[in-house]
Amino acid sequence: MDLLIRNADVVDGSGTSAPYRADVAVEDGRITAVTRETDGPGARPAGARRTLDATGLVLSPGFIDMHAHSDLALLRDPDHSAKAAQGVTLEVVGQDGLSYAPVDDRTLAEVRSAITGWNGSPPGDTSPGSLDFDWRTVGGYLDRIDRQGTAVNAAYLVPQGTVRMLAVGWDDRPATRAETEEMRRLVAEGLEQGAVGMSSGLTYTPGMYASDAELTELCRTVAAYGGYYCPHHRSYGMGALQAYEEMIELSRDAGCALHLAHATMNFGVNKGRAPELTGLLDRALAAGADITLDTYPYTPGCTTLVAMLPSWASAGGPEAILERLSDEESCVRIRHVMEVEGADGCHGVPMDWSTIEISGVSDPALSHYVGRTVAESAAENGEEPFVTARRLLIEDRLGSTILQHVGHEENVRHMMRHPAHTGGSDGILQGDKPHPRAYGTFPQYLGRYVRELGVLSLQECVAHLTSRPAARLRLPDRGLVREGYRADLVLFDPVTVAPGATYDNPRVLPTGIPHVLIDGRPVIEDGRRTDVLAGRSVRRTPLGR
């Protein structure tokens, strides 16, 4: 054996098996034996090259982050302790319909500009550690991960907004039949190259310009390859329930599995309404729908400041947005829609600038905005909040990120109890003061919501973070502590596990997670990040296997 883990309290990921004391043997990256204490001393394996005493620790499968924004961090930051230290062994990237493959030279520059606030690396970036974007296809991106090695494994969703950018551009119009066929070809190509499904960002341009009919056509292609559709749907605010129902109907028409991204009910109009959403899901599941969802265990959301604009103001791409923001007549209209009518970028809810906290800027000269709401900065400057926001968007060239304080604790707790629930950080690692979920999601589940509040039992929570996401991803050998499964494993102390990250200090690593293994190799050892880069791409399992 390469490794023998002795005296662990195994929580196997099934959600049904009670914890049990066992020794777990690992060889060639897989679990080769799980010997329970009740099997007697004569059954205990021996002869390992390395032994790890896990007395007092829980051994579980590695955690799967179903909604990550580490698309570039996986390549740029070999340490990647933000996720590895949480016990994450697999991230799903390519989220919210915008990522870096498939692209051509034009769209690569455009998407880099559009999501600088998520991932950094604006066009022309020559800073230390800047990336060589030497891929253009999904397969090329995944090959780059395999060639370079990463801290954790990664799966990829074909981003529908980027696909539309390639085939249609940034125009707010229906796709032609030829353009739809080209998008279907691009989605199919990405799935053939290993993507596990397709994502959409239906409050982000240009993906939001797609009609339901267009999305249904793309989802039929996803279904043909056994993938799943992961939409950030059209509203989390005023029209949230209708937006969820729209996605359920769309996936039913397409015959496609559905995974709802960061599925919660936000803004004042939805306080206490999470049971209405789970009721909608339960009826669909009872009728035979294949639906899962993910949430993060915090109340604020996180996105870019430019995402708050009405969609028509974002037509044409980043340079067109900046031109409109520089035009006084256009800004009068933009402000009215945002503050009076409720922009679709803010989910149909009129803007409350006191809920918008700047969490990061691309230009260090603007760092004085970070950690303050737009309303607070505006008051200090003696001006209206829209004036402050407009100036920041222009001076930071759309690169600012925000925390949006619009969530409700009772909704958060209700959603995580649902049987279709999985964990997803939605963690944006960019910015001076990112959301603490990027560094704290998984210990937050285990420490606050299991140990302190008892919202979930330990067995239930581990299943939500391991076997359920593995089943959605159709990974036959991950998500459980079983013989023959990959040795992606976490050892944590159930008494002390907790996030270190807070809103004031969001980049602090968690406590109580001393060991993390990927393919049996120590990524975290005695609470410290090793130099091991065991992560690789995890590609779609072909149908029939």
Could you give the CA distance from residue 218 to residue 269 in angstroms, rounded to a whole number?
Answer: 32
Tokens standing for residue 310: 């009405």
Tokens standing for residue 539: 């590609």
Mean pLDDT of 259-275: 96
Residue where one domain finishes, among candidates 373, 404, 435? 404
Give the pLDDT band (50/70/90) at residue 431. Answer: confident
Mean pLDDT of 438-459: 98
Q: Are residues 423 and 514 in the same domain?
A: yes
Q: Are residues 411 and 381 in the same domain?
A: no
Could you give the CA distance from residue 456 to residue 231 in angstroms, rounded to a whole number?
Answer: 26
Query: 285-318, pLDDT tens digit by residue?
Result: 999 999 999 999 999 999 999 999 998 998 888 9
Query: 209-227, pLDDT tens digit by residue?
Result: 999 999 999 999 999 999 9
**Quick check: 205 pLDDT over 60?**
yes
The H-or-E segment that residue 400 falls in is: none
Give the length of the chain.
545
Tokens standing for residue 33: 């034996």
Residue 51 lies in a domain: no
Residue 210 lies in a domain: yes
Q: Are residues 250 and 345 in the same domain?
A: no
CATH number of the structural domain spanning residue 118: 3.20.20.140
Mean pLDDT value across the chain: 95
DSSP string covering 155-219: EEEEEHHHHHHHHT-S-SSPPPHHHHHHHHHHHHHHHHTT--EEEEETTSTTGGG--HHHHHHHH
What separation, in Å, do the N-terminal and C-terminal C-alpha atoms of the chain show?
Answer: 29
Residue 497 lies in a domain: yes
Residue 9 lies in a domain: no
Query: 394-422, pLDDT tens digit by residue?
Result: 999 999 999 999 999 999 999 999 999 99
The H-or-E segment that residue 332 falls in is: helix 328-336
Query: 84-102, pLDDT tens digit by residue?
Result: 999 999 999 999 999 999 9
SS3 content of the chain, % helix, strand, coil (to 5): 40, 20, 40
pLDDT at 44: 77
pLDDT at 545: 54
Q: Are residues 383 and 320 in the same domain?
A: yes
Residue where one domain finishes, among candidates 404, 421, 436? 404
Q: Are residues 286 and 326 in the same domain?
A: no
**Quick check: 438 pLDDT over 70?**
yes
Could you give the CA distance from residue 130 to residue 124 in angstroms, rounded to a whole number?
Answer: 10
Among residues 193, 278, 292, which one has the least CA distance to residue 241? Answer: 278
Could you give the CA distance from residue 447 to residue 494 in angstroms, rounded to a whole number?
Answer: 7
Cβ atoms 174, 111 nearer than 8 A? no
pLDDT at 45: 79
Could you give the CA distance from residue 488 to residue 466 in angstroms, rounded to a whole number?
Answer: 10
Cβ atoms 166, 207 nearer than 8 A? no
Range(s) of the domain holding residue 133: 63-300+406-529
Q: Are residues 443 and 518 in the same domain?
A: yes
Residue 4 lies in a domain: no
Residue 2 lies in a domain: no
Could you give the CA distance from residue 435 to residue 448 in angstroms, rounded to a whole number?
Answer: 17
Residue 376 lies in a domain: yes
**Quick check: 174 pLDDT over 60?**
yes
Report phi then psi at 31, rounded to 5: -75, 120
Range of weakest confidence among 36-45, 172-181, 194-203: 36-45
Give the pLDDT band (50/70/90) at residue 126. Answer: confident
Q: Are residues 146 and 217 in the same domain?
A: yes
- Quote the Cα angle for 2-57-449, to 5°: 130
The H-or-E segment that residue 292 falls in is: strand 291-295
Among residues 241, 245, 154, 235, which one has the least CA distance to residue 473? Answer: 154
Residue where one domain finishes, among candidates 354, 371, 404? 404
Q: Are residues 425 and 277 in the same domain?
A: yes
Q: Are residues 109 and 134 in the same domain?
A: yes
Q: Are residues 121 and 153 in the same domain?
A: yes
Q: Are residues 289 and 433 in the same domain?
A: yes
Q: Are residues 490 and 400 in the same domain?
A: no
**Quick check: 200 pLDDT over 90?**
yes
CA atoms within 13 A on the CB side of 355: 19
Write the CA distances from 171 to 50, 77, 159, integer angstroms.
Answer: 59, 35, 17
- Which ranges of 396-456 would DSSP assign to H, the alpha helix? 409-416, 437-444
Residue 6 lies in a domain: no
Range of weakest confidence among 34-48, 49-63, 109-123: 34-48
Mean pLDDT of 252-256: 98
Could you give the CA distance from residue 90 to residue 155 in angstroms, rounded to a whole number?
Answer: 7
**Quick check: 544 pLDDT over 70?**
no
Question: How many other CB atoms are found less than 10 A from the CB of residue 60?
Answer: 30
pLDDT at 1: 83
Cβ atoms 88, 41 nearer than 8 A? no
Domain count, the chain: 2
Q: Is 430 helix (H, G, I), strand (E, B) or coil?
A: coil
Q: Is 366 helix (H, G, I), strand (E, B) or coil?
A: helix
DSSP string covering 4-73: EEEEEEE--SSSSSPPEEEEEEEETTEEEEEEEGGG-GGG-----S-EEE-TT-EEEEPEEESSB--TTH
Could you give the CA distance from residue 186 to residue 384 in angstroms, rounded to a whole number?
Answer: 45
| pTM across the whole model | 0.95
